[in-house]
Structures are given as structure tokens and as C-alpha cells.
Chain A
Amino acid sequence: MADALLAVDRVSCWFGGLKAVDGASLTAPSGRITALIGPNGAGKTTLFSIISGFVRAREGAIRYAEQNITGKPPHELARLGIARTFQIVQPFAGLSVRENILVGAHLHHRARDSALAVADRVGRDLGLIDLLDRPADTLTVAARKRLELARALATEPKLLLLDEVLAGLNPSEIRDIVPVIRDLCRRGITILMIEHVMQAVMSLAEHVFVLAEGRVIAEGAPAQIARDPKVVEAYLGHGAAAKWGASHA
């Protein structure tokens, strides 16, 4: 794809004898929402860690905005416009919500006042306005997820990597946050998301990559992916697709 903001090209990574990511390739087109799904242990988070610079790829290359970013450390990637959230939220526990967001806002705003203005604006956008002075470790799970998102957004990213921001939320909280993510995309931020909540993937993503055992086994539009026998088998086991097809015929 010519207009891909991010292109992961045959990336592999292994820990000891375990191949976590095995020649995986994917692209995230500019201004779109792309989803990465797959069963537990498929290597999705490892692939995210490689893209965001926390883990080094042993093989393959990553291109972002027409440049090779393979092996760059996380803070340099953040400066280039790649922000990530963590699957297990990592708030700065001792700081207030505002101070948490401020850390991200300072990336492109050296002056305290303008960074604070950005932090407050992002906090308001994500519905954290009433919680800005609360210590981060007193927040509910849903608010922590929003804070994780807010901090990443405060760095004013071009590419946002979301690692299961919906996990652990109840259906009504998910309904609240889905439009927030859609709105980010509308504002021009390219999104690559790992997600298990299929209802959200279906409604948000335009293109889905399926990772299983470190390999991309399928890609396509969400509806098409959901019918793909290879995908059904990856989730439910060998032969499941045939049975599933038969019972739904």
C-alpha cells in the first residue's frame, strides 16, 4: 500500500527457543483504524513492543512515514509521532491525573503553561475533566484506561498503538469509549489496535490482521475475516471451521 504510515516487513523475534513473532508483515494505512487480532499468546503484544521500540526485532524491518525505524529506542519513536498504550495500564501512580497527562504533553511543549493547556484539553476530550486532580492510583479501571489513552494522545501522535484498551471494561463502558476512538481517527490519527472485543473490532476497524503463533494467517475486512475458516480454526482448533460451517448451514 502506497499510503501506509506504518509497514512491518517480515519481522521475527524469539526468546530462547520460543519464536514469539515469526516473519509477520502488516501495514497501517494513513488515517485509518487497523486491528490486530489473534488468540492468546499469538505474539500481538510482542509485535507491538517491537514496533514501539521496547523489544528488538531479530529479523525484518519496520518503516514509518517513509523512514526505517527498526531498532530505534521508544523515546525517539515517540518524538517521531508513535505513541502506545500498555495492555496492563502503567499510570504514574504517585502523580495526579493532570500530572500524568502533563508528562506526555511536555514532549512537544517545553513551556509549563502550554503543556498544562494541552494536558487539560486532552483530559477534557477524554472525559477526565473532573478527575484531573485525583491521584492516578485511585481511579477505576475504566478511568485508568482513559488516562492511558490521554497520556499517549498528549504526545500528539500520528500513529497510535492501542494494546487492548477495551479489555476489562463492561459493555456500557465499551459503548462510551468506542466513539472516542473513532473520533481520534476522524482527527487524522492513524490507529493500530490489538483487541479481543470483536464487537468493537467489527464496528471500528476497516482492515484486520490475524496473528496466530507469531504469523499473520489472514487479513481483510472484518466481516470477511470472521468467516475465514483459517481464523476460526486458529481460535477454536483444527476442524472447528467445518463443524461450525455445518451447524450454521
Chain B
Amino acid sequence: MKSFAPTAIVIAVLAAVPLVVQSNATLNFLVVTLMIALAGQGWNILGGYGGQYSFGHAAFFGTGAYVTAILQMRYGVNAWPGFAIGIAAGAALGAVIGALTFRSGLRGSYFALVTLAFAEVLRIVASVAPITGAGVGTLMKLELGARTFQFQSRAAFYWAILALVAVSLVIAELIERSRFGTWLVAVRENEDAASALGVDARKVKTAAMTISGAITAAAGCFYAQYFLFIDSGIAYGTWISVEALLTAIIGGVGTVFGPLAGAIVVKSLGEATRLLIGDAPGLDLIIYGAVLVLVIWIMPRGLIGGFVDVRKFFGRKSVRQVRHG
């Protein structure tokens, strides 16, 4: 049986980073990277393990962000329960969208389009509804303190988001080795064959979307706490849908560490191209895009998938040598 050791080691190493790195800019970059990794892990549960490629995970990210922000600003709810309710709202939204889309039997690109539509509808509603602050957005009150989930130091925020990422990694590991995870992957591989073996595909997919929604909503809640400002374009914008799926796909769909690895690579790449060729507007994006295409071309199963392939290749080779020896 696989152990949690790799997860523990990765988290321990990442937890030590603020002890070495003091620069606020670097820590800020890492906080955002981990936040994207968390959103990507949410996408990965549904898209990676379940094979349901959502193009609208902004729906969950935004719902988490708005619910947390509105509860605190308009209803005086404390940040911590606000955070929890934000996550629960993401889960509930996942269950509802899942029940609706999977009941109608939407698969593949139709599923992707419908999730995009849900996110866009929410974005438009948020941009006009009074409760979200409409076009102005929601600005949260600055009130530093652990009680309000607003930390003076970047390191504290870093550890907070790292803790959330750690939980998401453990969730992915638990799913991987559970009956639910086995069934989810079976549905991804072949839905008819899975249902012939007793898998209630619709139920399994809806459950995956619920968990997925909760995790991505947690990233949204964190965004609101960290930046203290959201508007409809940030919360429900396509950017986060793209970042969530990109990190998971680049990192390796259906792997525990895929989204984390993907987020680190994608974010570093974006930062590096921006720094290197910051003067020519748009050029950094072109190079960024070209490198992404290259990565997907060379490693279609993502960084973690590519790593596994390489290890298998060498593993086989050594077995062969032993046999011949």
C-alpha cells in the first residue's frame, strides 16, 4: 500500500521556504502559485480522475470568493465560518450543476460548454446584482489579525494556503486509493463498461463535481481574504477557469501532484517570460503560449505523467539487464 510519505515530504519542504525566502515579492508569487494549485486540484478531481473537462471552474472560485466576502461585509459573519460556508457553497453549486448536466447526459465538449455557460451567467449576474456590489465590486475591510484571517506577514498567508493545498493533496490521495476513486476513473475510461460493473456513473460524477467545487471554492475564499477585493471579472472571470485546467493538464491529469507541479511551472514560466521580455507588449504571452504547446506536445500526459513514463522506461531496462545477467 502506498504511503502518504511523498505528500508529507513535499509539504515539509514547501513549509520551510519562508524560513529561507524573505522577499515579499517572492512570497507573494508563491502564495498566488499555491492558490492556483489549489484551484487546479479542484479541477483535477473532476477533470483528471473523472474525465469531465470543465471550462467553468470560475463558477466555484467566484462563489467561494463572493460568499466569504459578502458574509463578512454585509452580515458581519466572522472570517473563519465565512470561509467554511464559502467552501460549502462551492460544494453545493457543484452538486447542483453536476446533477443538472449529468442528468441530461452531457459529455465531452458539451459538458465543457455548459460549465462555461454557468460561469458566464454567474459573472453577468454578479456584475449587476446589488449584493455583490455590481460593477464596483466588493471591497473588504482591512482588519489585521488571526481572528479575521488577515495576516500581517506574507509568510502566515503562505502557510495558510499551503495547509489548504496539503489538505487537497491528501483528499486526492484518499480518492485514489478508495472505491469511489476506482469507480471515478472507470467512468472516465469507459462509462458503459463501468455501469455494467455496477457503477452508478451519474452519482459518481456528481459526487466528484461536489468535491471539485468545494476545493476550487476554497481557493476563491482564500483569494478574497488575501486581496480583500473582488469584482465579477476577477471572481467569475475566464482567467481562473483557464488557470485551473491548465495547471492540471500541464502538471498531469489524474495525478495527486499534477496541479501543484503544473502551477509551479506555469506560474514560473509566466513570470520568467514577463521579466525577460517585459518591454515588447504581448511577446511574453506568445512565448508563454509556445512553451505550453511544446510541453503538451512532448509530454501529453503532463509533467508527472512524463516523469512516470521515464521511470518506467528505466525500470524496464534494469529488469531486462537483470534477466540477461
Chain B contact-residue range equals 20 to 34
A103-B183, A112-B178 given as contacts; is B199 within 8 A of A95 (CB)?
Answer: no
Of residues 1 to 57 in B, which have CB atoms within 8 Å of A's CB atoms? 1
Number of A-B contacts (CB under 8 A): 72
Contacts of A90 in B (CB 8 A): 190, 192-193
Residue in contact with B193 in the complex, picked from A79, A92, A99, A115, CB distance below 8 Å? A92
Distance in angstroms between the alpha carbons of A151 and B195 in the assembled complex: 12
Contacts of A102 in B (CB 8 A): 182
Contacts of A54 in B (CB 8 A): 192, 196
A110 at the interface (CB under 8 A from B): yes
Q: How many residues of A contact B (CB 8 A)?
A: 29
Of residues 58 to 101 in A, which have CB atoms within 8 Å of B's CB atoms? 73-75, 78-79, 83-84, 86, 90-95, 99
Contact A104 B198 (CB under 8 A): yes
Distance in angstroms between the alpha carbons of A99 and B193 in the assembled complex: 13
Nearest-Cβ distance from residue A58 to partner chain B, whole angstroms: 20
Contact B197 A155 (CB under 8 A): yes
Contact B193 A83 (CB under 8 A): no
Choose among B178, B179, B199 the residue with the greatest number of A CB atoms under 10 Å from its CB. B179
Nearest-Cβ distance from residue A164 to partner chain B, whole angstroms: 15
Choose among B177, B179, B196 the residue with the greatest number of A CB atoms under 10 Å from its CB. B196
A106-B182, A112-B179, A115-B179 given as contacts; is B198 within 8 A of A75 (CB)?
Answer: yes
Encode A109-140 as 1/0 by CB contact (under 8 A) with B.
01010010000000000000000000000000
B143 at the interface (CB under 8 A from A): no
Closest residue of chain B to A52, judged by CB?
Answer: B196
Contacts of A103 in B (CB 8 A): 182-183, 186, 194, 197, 199
A33 at the interface (CB under 8 A from B): no
Contact A95 B185 (CB under 8 A): yes
Contact B189 A83 (CB under 8 A): no
Contact A107 B197 (CB under 8 A): yes
Distance in angstroms between the alpha carbons of A95 and B197 in the assembled complex: 15
Contact B196 A83 (CB under 8 A): yes
Contact B198 A79 (CB under 8 A): yes
Distance in angstroms between the alpha carbons of A84 and B194 in the assembled complex: 11
A75-B200, A78-B196, A103-B199 given as contacts; is B190 within 8 A of A92 (CB)?
Answer: yes
B208 at the interface (CB under 8 A from A): no
Distance in angstroms between the alpha carbons of A164 and B189 in the assembled complex: 22
14 other A-B residue contacts (CB within 8 Å) besides A75-B201, A92-B185, A92-B194 = A54-B196, A73-B195, A75-B195, A83-B196, A90-B190, A90-B193, A93-B190, A95-B189, A103-B182, A103-B183, A103-B194, A106-B182, A112-B1, A155-B198
Distance in angstroms between the alpha carbons of A83 and B196 in the assembled complex: 7
Of residues 144 to 200 in B, which have CB atoms within 8 Å of A's CB atoms? 177-179, 182-183, 185-186, 189-190, 192-200
A152 at the interface (CB under 8 A from B): yes
Contact A94 B189 (CB under 8 A): yes
Distance in angstroms between the alpha carbons of A104 and B196 in the assembled complex: 9
Nearest-Cβ distance from residue B221 to partner chain A, whole angstroms: 32
Contacts of B193 in A (CB 8 A): 86, 90-92, 151
12 contacts between A and B (CB under 8 A): A73-B200, A74-B195, A78-B196, A78-B197, A79-B198, A86-B193, A90-B190, A94-B189, A95-B186, A103-B182, A103-B183, A151-B193
Contact A83 B192 (CB under 8 A): no
Contacts of B198 in A (CB 8 A): 75, 78-79, 104, 107, 155
